Amino acid sequence: MKRFDFVQPASVAEALQVWHPGAVWLGGGTNLLDLMKGGVMLPDTVIDINRLADLRGITTLDDGSLRIGALVSNAELADDTGFAHDFPMVAEALLSGASGQLRNAATVAGNLMQRTRCAYFQDTTAACNRREPGTGCDARGGVDSHTAVLGFGDACITTHPSDFCVPLAALDAVVEVQGPDGAREVALRDFHLLPGETPERETALQPGEIIVALRLPADAKGFAAHARYLKVRDRTSYAFATTSAAAALRVEGGVIAEARLSLGAIAAKPWRVTEAEALLVGHAPDAAPFDQAAARALDGAVPSNDNGWKIALARRTAIRALELAAAGTPERMPALPASPFADQNGDHAHV
Please report the domains of the chain, with CATH numbers, ordered by start residue: 5-51 (3.30.43.10), 54-113+160-219 (3.30.465.10), 220-335 (3.30.390.50)
The predicted pLDDT at position 28 comes to 97
- State the DSSP code for 105: H
pLDDT value, residue 305:
84
Distance (Å, whole) CA 109 – CA 321 = 26
**Tell me: the pLDDT tens digits for 305-329?**
889 999 999 999 999 999 999 999 9
- Strand partners of residue 326: none
Note the pLDDT tens digit of each residue in 251-272: 999 999 999 999 999 999 999 9
Mean pLDDT (whole number) for 199-218: 98
β-strands 45-48, 5-7 pairing: parallel
Query: Which one is predicted more confidently, 305 or 217?
Result: 217
Q: How large is the average pLDDT for residues 181-209?
A: 97
How many Å apart are CA 299 and CA 315, to the nearest integer?
Answer: 10
Q: What is the share, in percent, of the chain residues with pLDDT greater than 90?
A: 91
* Residue-averaged pLDDT of the chain: 95
Q: At what angle do helices 309-327 and 287-297 cross, to 10 degrees?
A: 140
**CB environment 220-257: b (16+ within 10 A), e (fewer):** bbebbebbbbbbbbeeeeeebbbbbbbbbbbbeeeebe
Distance between CA atoms of 36 and 11, rounded to whole angstroms?
25
DSSP notation for 4-38: -EEE--SSHHHHHHH--TTEEEESS-TTHHHHHHT
pLDDT of residue 39: 96
Distances (CA, A) of 184 to 127, 160, 179, 194, 211: 35, 23, 8, 21, 10
pLDDT score for 351: 42
| Distance (Å, whole) CA 231 – CA 259 | 19
Residue 346 has pLDDT above 50, yes or no: no
Question: What are the strands, taking DSSP E only, across the chain?
Answer: 5-7, 23-26, 45-48, 58-60, 66-69, 174-179, 182-187, 210-216, 227-233, 241-252, 255-264, 271-272, 332-333, 348-349
Please give the Cα distance from 87 to 91 (Å, whole number): 7
Which amino acid is residue 152, in one-letter code? F
The answer to whether residues 69 and 213 touch, using CB atoms and an 8 Å cutoff, is yes
Q: What is the mean pLDDT of residues 106-124?
A: 97
Q: Which residue has the higher pLDDT, 289 or 146?
A: 289
Q: Which pLDDT does position 344 carry in this prediction?
A: 60
Task: Give me the pLDDT at residue 317, please.
Answer: 98
Residue 350 has pLDDT above 50, yes or no: no
Position 303 pLDDT exceeds 60: yes
Higher pLDDT, 341 or 292: 292
Which of the two residues, 162 and 347, has the higher pLDDT score?
162
